[in-house]
């Protein structure tokens, strides 16, 4: 990064610049979850297949996660502010395209383009904060606000989507991005300065292609198997994806400037932090998506009422993100990470009490309890990962932590969502691949409706149980392997 002027106070420009930067950050996070309550209306308007519905939801997260580190390197070489402005403009244009997409295929394309643009924003925004706040203490406070904003965006996305859909059409959940985009493009050139790294590593294009292709091919195969059963095509696609990911991993070990520095995973603390960045986002995104369908299509709530039901959990998650740093200073990182996983596991188990005819109270309780754990994880993961590695490798550690968040958000819907879809296909009435498609079928009997709803709830329960077990296991692993004394930054490799 270029040498920066050291000032005892960041001044008004820095705090205004922070507010401007937080706009795109909020949008990137919010668009990862804003469709959770909108899918029922999108399904009615565009009639996507089960496979297309999952792609509409998670292609955004996969695009962001697979390109995050690559765009971090590109920003170092060509300028963070330039990339930030370009990415924000493309994000706005893709949002307009998504809002007016005439069919599910184009909606998937525009969601993917939004993800590509979103991948340019997070690393560039963090680098710009370093220029705005050269003082380490104030920079840490600004990064804390950045993290809380990012977590809040994930939390309020479904609520914002629900509020918009209570009076507007489904495309409004994308057009809400435009005022923030326009404001940023007007103010950013005035309040922000260009930032470049003094030494930019070589960008390995083949690694970018292998990682993105491997993730997409593997997940596509999983979805096809869940929706249609095991056939030759998804089997071949899955094998191709696994081969690409294996090639990617082997290539990173030989590169001087790898996209992912796998050597960092030799540290147990870093590994726990990285997995903690991925797993809670996976559980949260999957249960929020399935929960939105449960509230609307099973219990029959309007989209506005479903948004209100999701509000307590979102509020708890956001507040927890804000207060967690002060709590961690007293209790230590080990206690925070352990509490994070156990709270999420307990909250997910409460979803098992929900039923076909009732369960709103249990759903709210589940989101509140799990929201405490999610808030802790969102707040401590990046700091824990960075503190676990030598100072000169902090940038790579932070990039991996952010990538884990985005990949976790997408994988939750892809894997746990596919698991729920598989259960529905096996136990449902066999009329269609999803609950919403089944309920829209003509001449549906009351028995078929009951069977479809019961199958969906069973799928929700199984997905929640699997995620709960994984979190409980990671909590036990944290208890056994994370040092009691907490995490201190290392001085050497």
pLDDT tens digits, one per residue of 245-301: 899 989 988 887 777 778 778 878 788 888 888 899 889 888 988 998 899 889 998
Identify the residue with better confidence: 181 or 394. Answer: 181
- pLDDT at residue 278, rounded to an integer: 86
Count of C-beta atoms within a 10 Å radius of residue 46 = 18
pLDDT category at 378 given cuts 50, 70, 90 is: confident
Count of C-beta atoms within a 10 Å radius of residue 209 = 14
- pLDDT at residue 51, rounded to an integer: 75
- pLDDT at residue 137, rounded to an integer: 65
Count of C-beta atoms within a 10 Å radius of residue 145 = 18
- pLDDT at residue 136, rounded to an integer: 61
- Extract the tokens encoding 466: 């699997």
Helix (H) or strand (E) holding 265: none
Q: Find the range with the poorest average confidence among 89-98, 233-242, 437-446.
A: 437-446
- pLDDT at residue 100, rounded to an integer: 94
Count of C-beta atoms within a 10 Å radius of residue 392 = 10
Most confident range (mean pLDDT) of 49-53, 196-200, 236-240, 344-348 is: 344-348
Percent of residues, the chain, with pLDDT higher than 70: 85
- What mean pLDDT comes out for the span 357-382? 89
Region of residue 168 (phi > 0: left; psi between -120 and 50: alpha; otherwise: beta):
beta
Q: Find the range with the poorest average confidence among 14-18, 328-332, 405-409, 468-472.
A: 405-409
Identify the residue with better confidence: 410 or 317. Answer: 317
What residues form DSSP beta bridges with 390?
490
Structure confidence by residue, pLDDT tens digits, 327-341: 877 888 788 888 899
Cβ neighbours of residue 134 closer than 8 Å, sequence gap 6 or more? 4, 5, 6, 7, 10
- pLDDT at residue 383, rounded to an integer: 67
Measuring CA to CA, which residue among 58, 72, 2, 31 is closest to residue 402?
72
Rounded alpha-carbon distances, angstroms, from residue 256 to 202, 402, 416:
8, 22, 36
Radius of gyration of the chain (CA): 22
The CA-based diameter of the chain, rounded to the nearest angstrom, is: 72
pLDDT at 486 over 60: no
Identify the residue with better confidence: 322 or 19. Answer: 19
- What mean pLDDT comes out for the span 30-44? 79
- pLDDT at residue 491, rounded to an integer: 44
Rounded alpha-carbon distances, angstroms, from residue 451 to 1, 204, 225, 353, 434:
59, 51, 22, 18, 12
- Packed helices 268-293 and 333-350: angle between N→C axes, nearest 10 degrees: 20
Please name the residue that has the structure tokens 């300065």. Answer: 193
The span from the CA of 397 to the CA of 288, in Å, is 28
Over the chain, what is the mean pLDDT? 81
pLDDT at 477 over 80: yes
- What mean pLDDT comes out for the span 415-432? 88
Percent of residues, the chain, with pLDDT higher than 90: 22
pLDDT at 198 over 60: no
DSSP 306-338: HHHHHHHHHHHHHHHHHHHHHHHHHH-HHHHHH
Structure confidence by residue, pLDDT tens digits, 448-476: 999 999 999 999 999 999 999 999 999 99
On whether the CB atoms of residues 277 and 414 are closer than 8 A, the answer is no
pLDDT at 391 over 60: no
Sign of CA dihedral 353, 357, 362, 367: positive
- pLDDT at residue 197, rounded to an integer: 53
pLDDT category at 492 given cuts 50, 70, 90 is: very low
pLDDT at 135 over 90: no
Structure confidence by residue, pLDDT tens digits, 151-185: 677 777 777 887 788 788 888 889 989 998 999 99
pLDDT at 6 over 50: no
The span from the CA of 121 to the CA of 21, in Å, is 9
pLDDT at 54 over 50: yes
Rounded alpha-carbon distances, angstroms, from residue 304 to 12, 114, 307, 352, 378:
39, 26, 5, 24, 27
Q: Which residues of 272-304 are buried (b: 16+ CB within 10 A; e: fewer)?
A: bbbbbbbbbbbbbbbbbbbbbbbbbbbbebebe
- pLDDT at residue 392, rounded to an integer: 54
Measuring CA to CA, which residue among 218, 105, 241, 121 is closest to residue 177?
121
On whether the CB atoms of residues 423 and 466 are closer than 8 A, the answer is no
On whether the CB atoms of residues 152 and 22 are closer than 8 A, the answer is no
- What mean pLDDT comes out for the span 349-374? 94
Burial (Cβ within 10 Å: 0-12, 13-18, ≥19) of residue 67: buried
pLDDT at 1 over 60: no
Structure confidence by residue, pLDDT tens digits, 311-328: 898 888 878 877 887 787
Structure confidence by residue, pLDDT tens digits, 93-110: 999 999 999 999 999 999
The span from the CA of 39 to the CA of 296, in Å, is 10
pLDDT at 407 over 80: no
- pLDDT at residue 5, rounded to an integer: 43
């Amino acid at each position: 990064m270029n040498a920066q002027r050291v000032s005892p106070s960041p001044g008004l420009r820095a705090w205004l610049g922070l507010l401007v930067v937080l706009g795109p950050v909020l949008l990137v996070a919010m668009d990862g979850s804003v469709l959770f309550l909108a899918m029922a209306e999108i399904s009615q308007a565009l009639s996507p297949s089960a496979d297309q519905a999952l792609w509409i939801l998670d292609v955004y997260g996969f695009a962001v996660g697979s390109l995050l580190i690559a765009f971090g390197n590109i920003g170092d070489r060509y300028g963070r502010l330039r990339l930030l402005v370009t990415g924000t403009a493309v994000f706005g244009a893709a949002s307009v395209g998504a809002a007016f997409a005439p069919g599910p295929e184009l909606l998937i394309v525009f969601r993917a383009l939004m993800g590509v643009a979103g991948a340019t924003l997070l690393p560039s925004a963090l680098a710009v904060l370093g220029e705005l706040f050269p003082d380490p203490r104030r920079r840490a406070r600004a990064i804390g606000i950045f993290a809380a904003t990012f977590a809040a965006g994930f939390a309020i996305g479904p609520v914002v989507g629900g509020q918009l859909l209570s009076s507007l059409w489904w495309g409004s959940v994308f057009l809400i991005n435009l005022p923030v985009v326009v404001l940023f493009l007007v103010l950013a050139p005035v309040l922000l300065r260009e930032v470049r790294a003094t030494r930019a590593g070589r960008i390995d294009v083949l690694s970018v292609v292998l990682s993105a292709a491997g993730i997409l091919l593997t997940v596509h195969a999983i979805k096809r198997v869940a929706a249609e059963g095991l056939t030759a095509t998804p089997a071949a696609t899955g094998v191709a994806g696994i081969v690409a990911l294996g090639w990617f991993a082997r290539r990173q070990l030989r590169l001087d400037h790898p996209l992912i520095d796998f050597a960092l995973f030799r540290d147990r603390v870093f590994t726990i932090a990285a997995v903690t960045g991925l797993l809670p986002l996976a559980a949260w995104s999957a249960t929020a998506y399935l929960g939105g369908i449960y509230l609307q299509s099973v219990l029959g709530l309007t989209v506005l009422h479903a948004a209100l039901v999701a509000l307590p959990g979102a509020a708890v998650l956001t507040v927890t993100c804000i207060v967690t740093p002060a709590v961690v200073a007293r209790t230590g990182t080990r206690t925070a990470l352990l509490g994070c996983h156990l709270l999420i596991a307990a909250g997910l188990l409460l979803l098992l009490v929900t039923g076909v005819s009732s369960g709103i109270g249990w759903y709210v309780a589940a989101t509140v309890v799990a929201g405490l754990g999610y808030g802790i994880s969102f707040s401590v993961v990046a700091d824990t990962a960075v503190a676990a590695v030598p100072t000169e490798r902090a940038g790579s550690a932070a990039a991996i932590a952010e990538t884990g968040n985005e990949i976790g958000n997408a994988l939750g819907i892809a894997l746990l969502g596919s698991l729920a879809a598989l259960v529905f296909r096996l136990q449902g009435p066999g009329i269609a691949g999803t609950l919403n498609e089944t309920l829209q079928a003509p001449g549906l009997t009351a028995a078929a409706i009951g069977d479809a709803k019961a199958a969906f709830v069973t799928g929700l329960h199984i997905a929640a149980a699997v995620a709960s077990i994984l979190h409980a296991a990671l909590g036990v692993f944290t208890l056994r392997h994370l040092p009691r004394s907490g995490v201190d930054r290392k001085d050497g490799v």
